[in-house]
Amino acid sequence: MIASNGIRKTYGTHVALQGLTLQIPEGSIFGLLGPNGSGKTTFIRILTQILVPDSGTLTLDGKPLNPAHRLQMGYLPEERGLYRKMKVQDQLLYLLSLKGMSAAEAKSQSAYWLERMGLADRARSKVQELSKGMQQKVQFIATIAHTPRLLILDEPFSGLDPINSQLLQEVMEEYRAKGRTVLFSTHRMEQVEELCDHIALINKGHLLLNDRMEAVQDRYRTDRYRFQTLEVLSAEEVAALPAQVVSHQGRALELRPLPGQDARQLIAHVNAHHTLTACAQYVPPLKDIFVQLVQQKGEPAHA
Amino acid sequence: MRNLWLVLRREYTTRVLSPVFWLVTFLAPVLLGLLMVLPVLLASNVDDDAWTVYVLQDLPLAEKLSGQSLPGRLEFVVLQASEDSLRRRVLQESHTLGIYAMGDTGLKLPTVTYCTNGSPGMNTVGKLHEVLRTLYREQRLLAAGVPAEQLAQTETQVTFKSVRLSEQGEQKGSVLAGYAIGYALAMVNYLLLLIYGSMVMQSVMEEKTSRIMEVLATSVKPVHLMLGKILGIGAVGFTQVILWLVLGTGVSLAVGAALVTTGAGSAAAPPVSMEQVEGATVRSEAMMTEISGALAILDWQLLGLLVFFFICGFLLYSSLFAAVGSSVDQMSDAQQLTPFVIFPIVVPILALSAVVNDPNGALAFWFSMIPLFSPIIMLVRVAAGGVPLWQQLLSMAIMLVSVWGVIQLAARIYRVGILTYGKKPTIREMLRWLRLPA
């Protein structure tokens, strides 16, 4: 859906993005990851046409990005902001009608979303009377209620409690189920693993990784397997296993098959001699992959 | 275009529907009215005590003075006593004055010496001096052989009627009234430009600091955002000015009525001589002709010009204010930049007296052609009269072109400024923003 090609942006002498090339497929939840100051927000601002890149192109459905495309996007900026003295409902009606909705549409959509977000009774409150989390939900409604094709959320989870995080996650998944696209940025990697289909990792304006989630996991999966047994194994029993022992602690074992052996044989062996309660291949968390990638800095990004 | 309208409507309705707007709208004229009435009310409430003035019998004007008493204010009592006993009496009694030395009426520069133990207040002292001065003059005129009955006729009140001639014939209104009206209109325009211009700046900064700008910028073109805001606040200003005109007329009518009654009341207290009443009537008649002459100058042409220059001046200055507001995100930074905008508004005010002294001079001409100054200077000149039509039209044309140009420039700064946070931009950086591609 979105293709960025060699996007470069500098602020004075500081290079925020050094030629970012990535694709955002339609109907996916796309995670834009990177530490603070990596260029996530700059990329998002270029995508929302707030900023103009120094060079490079962005296309939506193969057409260069133009102002009309903005109506197809919903954008939740990292720095949240609403008119503090305006009532929630008036504010939503205003922001939604700026997105091209008719008054009636805006009214029914904002009513639906206020209900959904548990804010129906606050429609007549002024924004400044709401808690920060509530304000954030109001702003999220303003982002999504005009059902944009592309939802762009900059750090959407920051400042939300677990219940509201869950709610937001559900809405994002529901959005994908309807074939729409969600792009969100975060520096918290755990969420990404459960939510994203695609990810892009950027650091200091460089793209480190841009791929499907499973592909990333495939690429970084190891030959280590984690076992859980019912019995606590003794050091001798562990040593007797036909495998290289990575770690052993009580019931938990981490083993690597011996050269020439495959995982199936190892699992069968453990299962035959002990009561196996769990077994999984160890896939390093994104956080570790990320740290690893950042440390190998200078390597060309794999797109 | 729809978004421009939406922005405008929000700017207008949120302001006009807020209680603050109505509070200011109603309180401002009340405060202004109070400012006008208060000095009069306060002044009329003090210094009401009667003062007794003792005059030594031997003094040249003692006899005459005893007939000049103003009951309830100044009572002249002639004493057959020595200077010492007069001084003692004044010392013992409150609210007394004592005249114990008085130059002869034949002297060119006579001196009158009096004493008091209190503070008689400006009004009392002034009245005393006036009475004495009049007496001295009368005595000298009598000594010069002027018959007593002619003395009354020397009191003169001259009424001036000026006629402003033009090719089209006599123009309405007097010369002085033209200046007064011009001055008033200039000050009004100056205040309005300042008030509503800085309101635009505040509003831009509010959107920037509340960070809603980023959301708006993805929905609305910056130039529409800026224009919507300017036009919305302009409409608020127009509403407020019209409300003020309505209220102001009401208040000033009420104040006028109040002044007339209090004025009549204070005038009734002392026994006013027939001449004084006549003098007052003549004076108020003169004032009425001045006022009606001033109102006659406020014809449709001048009113139209006022509206034109108010609208254009507002568009011009509020665009500049919007540009300043967009490029800063803190009030303290704004305060460093606003002088650049306020200075051009103040310059014509400083030049006002020069322009009024020579409404068709070189300074007046050139200042009325410079669009930053013309909203104020041209009004003054036209009110003073004698400005050729081509000059008025030229000034208006320059104004229109400049408004268009300044809006373009301001929009370019605005576009970049609204999304720039952190460091306050330098003037040089803002000039660079002008050259950035759209």
Read off the pLDDT of each residue in B257-283 and give the average, rounded to a whole number: 55
Are A239 and A112 part of one and the same domain?
no
> Are A117 and A262 contained in the same domain?
no
Average pLDDT over residues B152-177: 70
Q: Across the interface, do B211 and A94 touch by the CB < 8 Å criterion?
A: no
Domain with CATH 3.40.190 in chain B: 51-148
Q: What is the mean pLDDT of residues B200-223?
A: 87
Is A38 inside a domain boundary? yes
Q: What is the pLDDT of residues B419-433, one digit of tens each?
A: 777 667 777 777 777
In this prediction, residue B124 carries a pLDDT of: 84
The rounded mean pLDDT for chain B is: 82
Assigned domain for A9 exists = yes
Residue numbers in A near B203 (CB within 8 A) = none
CATH number of the CATH domain containing A241: 3.30.70
Last residue of a domain, one of A218, A237, A259: A218
Cβ count near A26 (within 10 Å)? 12
CB contact under 8 A, B3 and A98: yes
Banded pLDDT at B294 (limits 50, 70, 90): low
Tokens of B125: 């002292």
At which of A183, A218, A253 does a domain end?
A: A218
Inside any domain, residue A136: yes
Q: Which residue of A has its CA nearest to B222?
A: A50
Q: Are A268 and A185 in a shared domain?
A: no
Question: So what's the pLDDT on residue B58?
Answer: 85
Percent of chain B at pLDDT > 90 equals: 18
CATH no. for residue A142? Answer: 3.40.50.300
Sheet containing A63-64: give its strands across.
A14-24, A2-11, A55-60, A63-64
Instruction: Please indicate, yes or no, whether residues A16 and A36 belong to a single structural domain of this protein.
Output: yes
**Contact between chains at B10 and A94 (C-beta distance less than 8 A):** yes
Which of A52, A80, A99 lies at the smallest CB-CB distance from B211? A80
Domain B51-148 coded CATH 3.40.190: yes
- Its domain, for residue A264, covers 222-281
pLDDT tens-place string over residues B56-74: 888 888 888 887 887 777 8
Chain B closest-CA separation from residue A116 CA (Å): 22
Query: Please, what are the averages of pLDDT over each run of 10 residues along chain A (303 residues)?
Result: 88 85 91 87 88 88 87 88 90 92 93 93 92 91 92 90 91 92 86 87 87 86 87 86 87 88 87 89 84 69 44
**Nearest chain B Cα distance for residue A109, angstroms:** 18
Chain B CA closest to residue A12: B429
Residue-level pLDDT at B279: 55
Q: How many CB pairs lie under 8 A apart between chains A and B?
A: 55
Partner B contacted by A258 (CB < 8 A): no
Across the range B272-287, mean pLDDT stands at 57
Are residues A33 and A81 both part of a single domain?
A: yes
What pLDDT is attached to residue B359? Answer: 83
Give A126's DSSP letter: B
Q: Say yes or no for a CB contact (<8 Å) between A83 and B3.
A: no
Q: Which of residues 202-221 of B touch A (CB under 8 A)?
A: 207, 210-221
- What per-residue confidence (pLDDT) applies to B70? 79
Q: How many domains does chain A have?
A: 2
* pLDDT for the residue B274: 53
**pLDDT (average), residues B201-217:** 87
Rama region for B358: left / alpha / beta (φ>0; ψ in -120 to 50; rest):
beta
Spatial distance between the Cα atoms of A247 and A210, rounded to a whole number of angstroms = 32
Query: For residue B36, is pLDDT > 80?
Result: no
Asked if the structure places residue A295 within a domain, the reply is no
**Whether residue A264 sits in one domain with residue A147:** no
Q: What is the C-alpha separation between B437 and B124, in angstroms, rounded?
A: 74
Instruction: Tell me, yes or no, whether A82 and A199 share the same domain.
Output: yes
What is residue B317's predicted lDDT score, i.e. its pLDDT?
93
pLDDT, tens digit (0-9, with 9 covering 90-100), for B347-368: 988 888 888 888 888 899 999 9
Residue of B nearest to A103 (CA): B6
What digits encode the pLDDT tens for the residues B165-202?
Answer: 766 666 666 677 778 888 888 888 888 888 899 899 98
pLDDT of res. B434: 79
The pLDDT, as a whole number, for residue A88 is 94
Report the C-alpha gap between B426 and B209 in whole angstroms: 19
Q: Give residue B267's pLDDT.
A: 45
**A293 inside domain:** no
A74 in Cβ contact with A151 (< 8 Å): yes
User: Quick one: A132 and A246 in the same domain?
Assistant: no
| Tokens, residue B40 | 């009069």
Which of A98, A154, A155, A183 is most worth mutating to test chain B (most B CB atoms within 10 A of its CB)? A98
Residue B312 has a pLDDT of: 93
Inter-chain contact B210–A81, Cβ cutoff 8 Å? yes
d(CA A211, CA B227): 44
Global ipTM:
0.78
Asked if the C-beta of A139 comes within 8 angstroms of chain B's C-beta atoms, the answer is yes
* Residue A301 falls inside a structural domain: no
Has residue A143 been placed in a domain?
yes
Between CA B425 and CA B428, with CA B426 as vertex, the angle to 5 degrees is 125
Are A128 and A180 in a shared domain?
yes
Query: Would you place residue B7 in the very low, low, confident or very high pLDDT band (cuts 50, 70, 90)?
Result: very high
Q: Is residue A259 part of a domain?
A: yes
Domain co-membership, A63 together with A19 = yes
